[in-house]
Amino acid sequence: SSIAGIVAQETHFENLQSLGRSYIAASYVKTLESAGARVIPIRINLPKEEYVKIFNAINGVLLPGGGVDLKTSEYARVSKIFYDLAIAANDRGDSFPIWGTCLGFEELTVLTSGELLLTLTNTEDISLPLNFTDSALHSKLFQKMPLPLYKSLSTMPITANFHDWSLSVQNFTANEKLRKFYNVLSTNSDGVLEFVSTMEAYEYPFYGVQWHPEKSPFEWRETSDISHTAEAIHVAFYMAQFFVNDARKSQHQYSEEAETSHPLIYNYCPTYTGNISVFEQMYFF
């Protein structure tokens, strides 16, 4: 069985702060559950030794999208702890995957390079087809994707973009640490700037998407440009399944002791927020 951790973040929406000081959007939880994983919320503001315990009990980490600072937030601090633990674990043959979506993708670029290299783009609420690079078809992430789905991804506007900041291809290429660490699998453009939209690490099971697979099946904001086509849903579940399959390679065990101090998401109740936020449901802590 596979247990994935999802990192929480400070509640940065002012109108939601009374509901909880940190949150996880429920769509991330549902996507991983749909692929056969169980989920642990990784809460912020814990001492480092608690995160080490969680790391040893779970099989992979998802860094979700959101809107907090990539260097000074608790989300950034916690992500760095798991990133460092994952690097060390994978180096000694202890497989442990990390997936970054949107803010999580951006966090991965900061953790790997040590720098903030993002550029403002006009990419808030727009769905796009991916421009695959030559290496995409041979990548870990896409090599087993059904060809019709791969074609749909490259021709149909089914990847939901909700970001003001992007990693330009220029900045990626100019940074030696990023260039050596990540293989760029797809790019996109806002009409002016070409940016990295999908990447995977060469030597580690680390994956980053600047777009949002989980929104297509689970977010229904009527004013949003989110694709709910069969192809978009299929992509979401392919991505979730890919990550969960990678997490199944991890030998970490979730014990009774872990269960007591770091309970599964089932112990928390999601709140309906579809009328007051960009998310249909959110978990607050």
Q: Taking 90 as the threshold, does the pLDDT of residue 131 lie above it?
A: yes
The verdict on whether 212 is a catalytic residue reads yes
Phi, psi of 137 (to 5 degrees): -65, -20
Give 1's pLDDT tier (boundaries 50, 70, 90). Answer: confident
Taken in order 211, 185, 128, 155, is the CA torsion positive or negative?
negative
Q: Do the beta carbons of residue 5 and residue 32 sit within 8 Å?
A: no
Q: Within a 10 A sphere around the Cβ of 120, how many other Cβ atoms?
A: 11
Q: Do the beta carbons of residue 79 and residue 63 sit within 8 Å?
A: yes
pTM of the model: 0.98
Q: Taking 90 as the threshold, does the pLDDT of residue 163 lie above it?
A: yes
Amino acid 68: pLDDT: 98
Give 222's pLDDT tier (boundaries 50, 70, 90). Answer: confident
Amino acid 120: pLDDT: 96
Integer Cα distance of 198 and 194 in angstroms? 12
Question: pLDDT tens-digit profile of 258-278?
Answer: 999 999 999 999 999 999 999
**Cα torsion at 21, 27, 31, 34 (round to 10°)?**
100
Q: One of 102, 163, 234, 262 is an active-site residue; which one? A: 102
**Which of 95-104, 164-173, 219-228 has the lowest average pLDDT?**
219-228
Integer Cα distance of 234 and 245 in angstroms? 16
How high is the mean pLDDT of the chain?
A: 97
Region 123-145: mean pLDDT is 97
Crossing angle for the helix pair 74-91 and 48-57, to the nearest 10 degrees: 50
Region 148-177: mean pLDDT is 98
Give 223's pLDDT tier (boundaries 50, 70, 90). Answer: confident
Q: Taking 90 as the threshold, does the pLDDT of residue 176 lie above it?
A: yes
Q: One of 163, 212, 234, 262 is an active-site residue; which one? A: 212
The DSSP bridge pattern shows strands 60-63 and 98-101 to be parallel
Residue-range domains of the chain with CATH: 2-284 (3.40.50.880)
Kindly report each contact of residues 229-233 with a partner whose C-beta sits within 8 Å and lies 24 or more positions away, as own/partner: 229/156, 229/158, 231/149, 231/152, 231/153, 231/156, 231/158, 232/156, 232/158, 232/159
Amino acid 253: pLDDT: 96
Q: Do the beta carbons of residue 129 and residue 158 sit within 8 Å?
A: yes
Question: pLDDT tens-digit profile of 63-102?
Answer: 999 999 999 999 999 999 999 999 999 999 999 999 999 9
Integer Cα distance of 171 and 107 in angstroms? 15
Q: Do the beta carbons of residue 66 and residue 272 sit within 8 Å?
A: no
